[in-house]
Structure 1
Amino acid sequence: MSEQRQCPVGATPERSDRPPHHAVAGIGAGPANLSLAALGEKVVPGGVHLYERRPAPAWHPGQLSEGSKLQTSWVKDLVTLVDPTNRLSFLNYLVSSGRLYSFFNAQYAEIPRLEFARYLAWAAGELGTIHCSTPVECVSYADDGSGGGRFVLSGPEGVVATADHVVLGLGTRPRVPACFEDLQGARGLVLAERLQTRLSGAAVLPYQPALVVGGGQTGAECVLMLIRHGFRDVRWIGRRNWFAPMDDSPSANDFFRPTYLRFFHGLPEEVRRRYVAQQQLTSDGISLATLQEVYQLNYETYLREGRHPVMLLPGRDVVRASRRDGQIALWCERDWGGRERHAAPLVVLATGREPAGLPLAPGLAALMESDESGRPLLEADYSVRWKNAERNRLYLQNRSRIGHGIADPNLSLLAVRSATILNSVLERTAYVVRDEHVSTAWA
C-alpha cells in the first residue's frame, strides 16, 4: 500500500509576493527535523527552514502523563552524538533553564518524557527557522528547462516556499486495526494519545471495566494512567504470549551504532527483513521499570483492597469489535485455540503507529523509484531515488526500518541521521561520525 498522500488537484496559484527560497527546507518540526535544523544552523547557508502545520512543535502531546519516561538516554539528544559543543544540546538546555543541579540530584535512570518534550520546544524556540501554523499539503517539482530546478512547497493558500533540497520528517499516526475501523468516532473507543484528555475531569466508577488493547510501552502507560485515575477493573490485551520487556542489554544496543547501520544497509533485503523481525524487542518492548510498576501496583492494591486492578491477557489477538448497549465488545482469538469475548464501556487502542502519508504531487511521485508496496526507495544517505537526484535531493526521515535497521524510527540516532543528510546535501563531510572501537564482528 502506497504511503503517498494525495495532493490537491490542479495547479496551485502563486501568491502575489514572491515566496522565500531555501537551500534546505523541511516539512514537519518533530525531533528528526529539529535535529537537522539544529545541526544545519552552523553549516547550511540561511539555515534549515522547517514548516510545521501545528501552532507549535509538539512531541507525543497526549502521552506525557505522570511517570512516563524516555526509553533513550538523554545524551542521544538532537546534536550531542556528532557535535557535543552545539548550543542546542540537552545539557545546555538544563544550564539555560537553571535546573541542571536539580536534574542531576533527582538521579533519573530514565528521564521524564515531559522533560524531553520541553527540551524540544526550547530548541525550536532558539532556532529562528521554524515556521509554525504553516501546513505544506503538496511538494511538487519545477524544472526550469535549462538543467536546473526547484521543489515547490504549497499549502491551502498557495505556494509557501521553494527549496533546492527538501527533507520530509512527517512523523507517525495511530495505527487502527481493521476490526475497529467502523467504530472510529464511537463513544467509548479512545486512541492512546487522547486518553489523558478523555480522563481529565471525568468521573470514574471504580469497578467499571476498561480494556486496553496493545501489549507495548504505550499500552503499559495507558494501564498505569487508568489505575491512577481510579479504575479497578482494567483488562490488558496483548498479542504476544507475554508482556515483553525491552532488551536494553549491551549486545542489543550494538544495533544502535553507526557501524552496525553501515553493515546492515549492505545486507540483502531478505536478510534485513529477518534481522528487523528478530530485533523487534530492542525497540518495541516495554521498559522494565514500567512493567515492574504495573506488577507492583497490582500487588499493592491487592494488599489494600483484596483485588488486583489489572488482569493481564497475553496471547490474544482482537479480530472483531462491535458496540451495543453502551459497551464495546471485543472477540479475541487465543494463541492456544478458541475465542473469548470481553466487553467494557471504555476501550483504549494502543496498537502502534504507522507513517503519515507523503504529500507528493503525482508528477513528482512518478519520477521516483518505488518498491513493490509503492514506498519510495532510499539510498544510504536517506535520499529518494528519483530522476533529478543529482541536482535536487528529497530525503525521508523515519521511513526506512528495512533499509536502515531497527534504529531508524528511534530517537537513538537522530543526530547521526541528520549529520548523514547534511553531509549529503553539502557534498562534503561537514560532520564526522566516529564509531571506531567496536568489539563485535558482524561480518
Structure 2
Amino acid sequence: MPTRFGVTPPPEGGGQPLPHHEVAGLGAGPANLSLAALGVNQLPGGIALFERREGPAWHPGLLGSGTQLQTSWIKDLVSLADPCNRLSFLNYLVSTGRIYAFLNAQYDSIPRLEYARYLAWASGELGCVRYGTPIEEVDYAGGRFVLSGQGGAVATADHVVFGLGTRPDVPSCFVGQEESEGVVLAEQLESHLGTVSSKPYEQVIVVGGGQTGAECVLNLLQRGYRDIRWIGRRPWFAPMDDSPSANDFYRPTYLRFFQGLPEGVRERYAAEQTLTSDGVSMATLQQLYQANYEASLREGRSPVMMLPGRSVVEAAQRHGTVALWCERDWGGRERHAARFVVLATGRRSTPLPLSARLLELMETDAAGEPVIDSDYSIRWKHSETHRLYVQNRSRVGHGLADPNLSLLAVRSAVILNSLLDRQAFAIRDEQMSTVWA
C-alpha cells in the first residue's frame, strides 16, 4: 500500500512516464500560491501548480485606478501563519525597492494593482507554476490521480488541491448576451471602453450593487459618461461592515465555532453576515457620492441615478439599444434602456473538473456537491492515502472567510497540517473577548 508520500510507479504498458508530483494544485491564484509559499519548506517534494492562463494575472480587468483591496495587507499569502516567510508582502516591498515610496503614500488600503504585482512576484520566486496548462479532468487510476488537459494526460499526483477561483455569475435573463456589444461583464469593461462606439451622453446601466458595481460606476464617471443608472437588488447600496465586531467573524476561533454549527444555522449566519464581506467600501461610496454631487454643481444635474430595490427580470437588444425590465421590491415593473449594460452581479465557483469515476467514489450532499471536511478535504474512498482538498468553495461549510482573502494563510496552514499529519503550523488565536460558545 502506498504511504501518504509514497512513490507512485510509472504508467503500465511502457511508454514515457508522466511527470509525477506529490502535491498538485489546480489554479495559481492567491489560494494555491499561499499553499505553495507555506509548503515550500514543509512538503518533501514541493508542490506543482497548473494554471490555465499564459502568465501571472489576478482579475486583470478589475485593477483600474483607485481600486483598492478590502483586506489588510498583513493578511498576505503567508504572514498570519508564518510571519518570517520570505514571500510576505513586506518582503515583496523591500525586495522590489518599493517600501519607502509605499510607506510615504500612506495607504489605508493597498491598490489592487499592487496586490496583483505581489502575487506575480511570489509566483516568480516560487518557480513551481506551469502556466498555459489547463487541467480539464482529474481522474483516479492505478493508485494515483491523473491530471489531463485537452491533449491527454499531463501529470500524475499523490494529492490534489483545487484552487480554481470563481467566474462571473450571469443572471439568467442575460445568458447568451454577455459576448455581445450591448452587454459587458464588469471585468471586461476597461477593454470594452477602448473599442465601444458609444458617446458619453448616451445612457449606460450598471447592474449589481456591490463593490465591483460601484467601481464600474466610478470608472464610467471618470471616462466622462453623464447618464449612468446603477441598479441594485438591496434596498440601499450597502456599505461593507468593517467594524471590530464584524472582523471577529474572520478569526480562527470563530471559524472553528462556525464549522461545528448545524447546517441550518450556518446557512442563516452566512446570509446574515454577507455585508461583512460583500458590501461596498465606505471610501468608495463616499468617492462616488462626492463625484456625483460635484458634477451636479458644475452641470446642474447628477450624472448617476441610483436605483436600489430592483431586480432585473428581462433583457432584450434591438437596434443598438439594450432594454431592461425591473421588478421593484414595493411592486410593479419599470423599463430602462441603454447603449450598453455592465454586469457586476457577483461570482460563482468554477466547476471542479472531476471525472465521473472519481465523483462516484466521493460522498456528496443533497445538491450533488462533494462533502468538504473541516480541514478542507473531500470525503472519498481513498482519502487515507490520497487526498483531495478544495479552497474557496464552502461559504456555508466554512463561513465567509473561505471566499475571502482574510484567512488565506490560515486555510493553507490547516491544509498543510492535514497533509503532513502533524502540526507544522501553530494557529494561535488568543485574547478573544467575544464568547461564541
Aligned match for 1:439, one of 426, 433, 437:
433
Name the counterpart of 2:130. Answer: 131
The residue correspondences of 1:389-400 to structure 2 (distance < 5 A) are: 389-400=383-394
Q: Is 2:248 the counterpart of 1:249?
A: no
CA RMSD, 1 decimal: 1.4
Structure 2 residue 222 is matched with structure 1 residue 223: no
Equivalent AA in structure 2 for residue 320 of structure 1: E
Deviations 1:341-398 (A, max 9, x none): 0000110000000001111010000111111111110110000011111110000100
Map 1:139-150 → 2, pairs under 5 A: 139-143=138-142, 149-150=143-144
Find the counterpart in structure 1 of residue 227 from structure 2.
233
> Is the Cα contact below 8 Å between 2:198 and 2:339 reproduced in 1?
no
1:247-396 to structure 2, matched below 5 A, reads 247-396=241-390
- 3-state DSSP of counterpart to 1:342: strand
Question: Any idea what SS the aligned residue of 2:427 has?
Answer: coil
Structure 2 CA distance for partners of 1:320 and 1:42, relative to 1, 3 Å: same
- Name 2:4's counterpart in structure 1: none
What SS does the corresponding residue of 1:321 show, helix, strand or coil?
A: strand
Counterpart-to-counterpart distance in 1, 2:433 and 2:13: 56
C-alpha separation in 2, matches of 1:260 and 1:119: 28
Determine helix, strand or coil for the equivalent of 1:381.
coil
Alpha-carbon separation, structure 2, partners of 1:46 and 1:352 = 37
Q: Does 1:169 align with 2:138?
A: no
Contact 1:204 1:231 in 2 (8 A): no
Identity %: 67
TM-score (norm: length of structure 1): 0.94
Residue 188 of structure 1 deviates from its aligned partner by 1.1
SS in 2 for 1:417: helix
Q: Give the structure 2 partner of residue 17 of structure 1.
A: 16
Moved more, 398-407 or 16-25: 16-25
1:201 CA drift (Å): 5.5
Change (3 A) 1:252 1:14: farther
TM-score, normalisation: structure 2: 0.96
CA distance in 2, matches of 1:151, 1:213: 41
Number of aligned residue pairs:
427
For residues 11-160 of structure 1, the aligned pairs below 5 Å read 16-143=15-142, 149-160=143-154
Secondary structure of the 1:411 match is: coil
Contact 2:239/2:279 (8 A) holds in 1: yes
Once the two structures are TM-superposed, the CA of residue 155 in structure 1 deviates from its matched residue by 1.1
| Whole-angstrom distance in 2 between the partners of 1:57 and 1:387 | 35
State the alpha-carbon separation in 2 of the partners of residues 20 and 437 from structure 1.
47
Stretches of 4+ moved more than 6 A in 1?
12-15
1:369 partner SS:
coil
Secondary structure (helix, strand or coil) at the match of 1:322 reads strand
* Per-residue Cα deviation, 1:391-442 (whole angstroms, up to 9, x for no partner): 1000010011111001110000100000000010111111111102111101
- Amino acid in structure 2 at the alignment position of 1:31: P
Distance 1:197 1:48 in 2: 35
Matching residue's letter, 2:238: A
CA distance in 2, matches of 1:383, 1:15: 33
Once residues 208 and 225 of structure 1 are traced to their aligned partners in structure 2, the CA distance between those partners, rounded to angstroms, is 15
Residues 240-291 of structure 1: per-residue CA shift (max 9 Å, x gap): 0100000000000000000000000000000000100110000000000001
1:198-220 deviation digits (Å, cap 9, x = unpaired):
11265652210000000000000
Q: 2:420 aligns with which of 426, 432, 440?
A: 426
Structure 1 Cα separation of the partners of residues 88 and 415 of structure 2: 19
Q: Conserved in 2, the CA contact under 8 Å of 1:204 and 1:230? A: no
The answer to whether the Cα contact below 8 Å between 1:212 and 1:349 also exists between their aligned partners in 2 is yes
Q: CA deviation at 1:231?
A: 0.3
Does 1:193 find its partner at 2:187?
yes
Structure 2 letter corresponding to 1:412: S
Q: Unaligned stretches of 5+ in structure 2? A: 1-10
State how far apart, in whole Å, the 2-side matches of 1:328 and 1:362 are.
Answer: 41
